[in-house]
Chain A
Amino acid sequence: MDVLVILEESQGSLHRLSREAIAGAQKLGSSVAALAIGENADTLASELSSYDLEEVFTAKHELLSSYSADGYFETVIQLIRAESPALVVAGHTYQTRDFMPRVSAKLDIPFIPDIVSLSDEGFVKQVLNAKLNASLSSASDQIILSFQSAAFNDEEIRGGSCSARAFDVELDSSQVRSVSEEPFQEATGDVDLESAEVLVSVGRGIEKEENVPIAFELAKAIGAEVCASRPVVDSGWIDSFRQVGSSGHNVAPKLYFSLGVSGAIQHVVGMKGSKNILAINKDADAPIFELADYAVVGNVLEIIPKLIEALNNK
């Protein structure tokens, strides 16, 4: 095996970024294997059965029934030691960020994180708040990589077959120091952003809380749900369950209609997979315009009330 993909579970099935990581791994090496960890490892492995992979290792243990940095780290280093892959890859998720640096430190393998693309010179990563890109490389025999959302397209995964093999991880309770409680959501508000066809997104350009209702009016006029960037949520103008970005939801609607969203990297990672992006911002240099299909340079507070009027008169 050249490349080992560390899989992640999301609500009982394979995390989208894990599928994208498989697509990336297939571009990087001819012989790719994967590792599924935890009590749902067999379910994750079965999701890979039609992919062109050498095999998928399943690691199950009573100490791996829920995620812990200690347990996952131990499992991953044991498999790396047994199989010596040249590359270890994963999606750049919160979970990867939580345990993967431990693997890097323990085995002295460089971890190049948050890669957005591959180039002839190396691995491309955004730096300085995404204002610049950087090309990174390592001469090490082994490298750990993590891929940002949408760095690779999971529709490009090479099909084939893949069988599962149990990996016997050796763990004892002294190695898992943490006790994890059940994950919980603060409030869901009965809003399903992930499956909304159209999203109206509110950014700091809305200026103040009193202006937020125009976003909801616009959403009503075009049959959309309302979401928001982190600064708007942190200001308490919109509920946190509507947040899109690295600490919120990851969405890919047919239309993402953003109002005064600047396009900070933390927000962009959660919406860059949108099919169409229409952005309004008064700053012509706002980073959101680099992604937008339609870049409307202007004041949201002037445009939106007139747009609502025009839509309602039709």
Chain B
Amino acid sequence: MKIAVLVKQVPGPESALPINDHGTWVDEESVTFVMNPPDNFALEEALLIKEGKGDGEVVVVSMGPDRVQKVIREGLAKGADRGIHIEEVGPIEKDPLHIAKRFTAVLKDENFDLVLTGLQSDDTGMGQTGVLIGEMLGISTATLAVETDIKDGHIRLKRELESGWFQWVEFPLPASISIQSGLNTPRYPSLKGIMGAKKKEIKTVSCTELDISSNCQSVDKVFVPQTSKHSEVIDGEVDAAVERIVEILKSEIKVI
């Protein structure tokens, strides 16, 4: 079982997010980066599948500037076998079709049985890269897996639907699957893992080696959301707040 896990490095949940001078994205110099939290669940699932089978290979693949080697190392420290870094120079690509074509060019000769991704990235949140790559590789695709069960050449997985519904689907491998967050408990790297990771291979592929043309979309500018709603702020003493809430429930919304 040969598994690729696609991980992205994104601004952390606590990071400052100052907008850059051109207003086109955040100023990366001021950002604290982490492994995209949903990808952490995909990585854990890959490691669990490999451990369950007792053999196989988990390859962490990430695209971005030099800084993304940190999340690849993190994956290696947790138990992945090797890494591939698709190296970008200049602003990071945000167009999903471009991104997927670059990954596909790197993945296609590796013949992975499974390609796992998180359900979406916490930065652009396009939520489509894994499925795009699956189609480009001509393999099965599925999203929002909450349980996986690998059989002989097949995968059976439980998908999350909306409003508390689920569904089991089964299809042949190879497949590209996006993993719903929360289905497992991602491990922390051990000290031994961290030491061992230093000896593991990270292959670097330059984006400029991948000749790609595509229709695309662009993120033209970012801005702080303007609230359209006029809210009444109640921030005084507890007793005064309680009194006001009772009045609202009774006289304004009229639910009691």
Confirm or deny: A241 has a beta carbon within 8 angstroms of a beta carbon on chain B.
yes
Give the contacting residue for A303; candidates B142, B231, B233, B242; CB below 8 A: B242
Taking a contact as CB atoms under 8 Å apart, the answer to whether A104 and B166 are in contact is no
User: B168 CB to closest chain A CB, in angstroms?
Assistant: 4
- Min CB–CB distance B106 → chain A (angstroms): 16
Contact A294 B231 (CB under 8 A): yes
Contact for A243 among B164, B168, B256, CB less than 8 A:
B164
If A129-B13, A179-B171 touch, does A295 touch B224 (CB 8 Å cutoff)? no
Contact status B219-A98, CB under 8 Å: no
**Given known contacts A136-B217, A183-B166, A254-B253, is B232 in contact with A97 (CB within 8 Å)?**
no
Judged by a CB distance under 8 angstroms, whether A188 is at the interface is yes
Whether A294 and B232, one on each chain, are in contact in the complex, defined by CB atoms closer than 8 angstroms, is: yes
Is B243 an interface position by the 8 A CB rule? yes
Asked if B242 and A178 make an inter-chain contact with CB atoms under 8 angstroms apart, the answer reads no
Please indicate which of the listed interface residues A10, A97, A121, A142 has the most CB atoms of chain B within 10 Å of its own CB: A97
Residue contact B243 to A254, C-beta cutoff 8 Å: no
- Give the docked Cα–Cα distance between A293 and B232 (Å): 6
Contacts of B97 in A (CB 8 A): 104-105, 108, 110
Please determine whether B165 and A183 come into contact, CB atoms closer than 8 angstroms. Answer: yes
Residues from chain B with a CB closer than 8 A to the CB of A73 are 135
**A residues near B238, Cβ cutoff 8 Å:** 298-299, 302-303, 306
- The listed residue with most A CB atoms (<10 A of its CB), out of B164, B214, B242, B249, is B164
Taking a contact as CB atoms under 8 Å apart, the answer to whether A222 and B222 are in contact is no
Q: Which residue of A lies closest to B226 (CB)?
A: A133
Q: Is B91 an interface residue when CB atoms closer than 8 A count as contact?
A: no
Q: Decide yes or no whether A82 CB sits under 8 A from chain B.
A: no
**Chain B residue contacts of A230, Cβ below 8 A:** 182
Q: Is the CB of A110 within 8 A of B162?
A: no
Q: From B1-9, B73-81, B124-132, B191-199, give the one contacting chain A.
A: B124-132
Stretch among A41-49, A160-168, A202-210, A283-291 lining the B interface: A283-291
Chain B residues within an 8 Å CB radius of A240: 164
Residue on A nearest B24 in the bound complex, by CB:
A134
A110 touching B229, Cβ below 8 Å: no
8 tightest CB-CB pairs across the interface, nearest first? A101-B131, A101-B128, A105-B135, A297-B235, A178-B171, A140-B215, A138-B217, A110-B217
On B, residues with C-beta under 8 Å from A are 11, 13, 17, 19, 26, 95-97, 100, 122-129, 131-136, 140-144, 159-172, 180, 182, 214-225, 227, 229, 231-235, 238-239, 241-243, 245-246, 248-249, 253, 255-256
Which residues from chain A sit less than 8 Å from chain B, CB to CB?
Answer: 10, 68-70, 73, 93-95, 97-102, 104-106, 108-114, 121-122, 125-138, 140-143, 177-186, 188, 194, 197-198, 221-224, 230, 234, 240-241, 243, 247-250, 254-255, 276, 278, 284, 289-299, 302-303, 306-307, 310-311, 314
